[in-house]
Amino acid sequence: MTIEREMRFGVGDAGEVSAILLRPPDARCLLVLAHGAGARMTHSFMNEIAEELAGAGVATLRFNFPYMEQGRKVPDRGPVPTAAVFAAVRTAAAAAPELPLFAGGKSYGGRMSSQASAETSLPKVRGLVFFGFPLHPPDQPSTKRAEHLARVKLPMLFLQGTRDKLADLSLLRPICAKLGSRATLHIIETGDHSFHVLKSSGKTNADVMRELARTVAEWAQKIIKQESE
């Protein structure tokens, strides 16, 4: 039976935030899953991907960033977002110490996770997962937001749609190539930033969510196996 547990944890002077731990009975790892810039941890994408990940044997800890918890629309600047990632990672490690730990999130949440990892090692985290890495603002191609990735020493999984206006693949592919074996890029054909696909893809949005979850689970298991050998 899948266990869903509501939690709260502190983020320094920014106060407490809400979190949800979703753990399936066959959990093989735990992913700290941060939300996008304009959506809470209970956004439909967050709910759906957490459920699909549970079905693939991946437990998740979703959480709100402080600005979202406080009902503000604009993300905090400075150290607050990365402090929230660190606090979420510590909370996840304490909640399920026996499970291998990963971190990441949707768009902004994934980028904050990588920035936290670039600043200093995320305790016990074995890899980072990006559900639509926001490489640049919509239709404004740039690579500045990826500069910190060179300082991330963990394996990274990039899940990207070919119609994602926040990540020109002609820019992201070379970045992943430069990161070498640390980076894995999984492409969703015709997927946009929310992973909605065109009918021409031959897939439904539900198919894509399952594909995303399965890809994360298989990638995580590969890393766990490599580290145990």
Mutual orientation of helices 44-55 and 205-228 as an angle, nearest 10°? 50
Q: DSSP state, 31?
A: E
Give the pLDDT mean for 122-129: 96
What domains does the chain contain, in order, with CATH numbers? 3-228 (3.40.50.1820)
Give the pLDDT mean for 73-102: 96
Q: Is 211 left (phi over 0), alpha (psi -120 to 50) or beta?
A: alpha
Give the pLDDT mean for 10-30: 97
Here the tokens at position 45 are 């994408």
Integer Cα distance of 219 and 229 in angstroms: 16
The per-residue pLDDT for range 144-158, each reduced to its tens digit, is 999 999 999 999 999
At residue 77 the predicted structure's pLDDT band, cuts being 50, 70 and 90, is: confident
At residue 224 the predicted structure's pLDDT band, cuts being 50, 70 and 90, is: very high
Phi, psi of 105 (to 5 degrees): 160, -175
pLDDT at 229: 73
Whole-model pTM? Answer: 0.97
Give the pLDDT mean for 53-70: 98
Instruction: Tell me what the pLDDT averaged over the chain comes to.
Output: 96
Bridge partners of 215? Answer: none
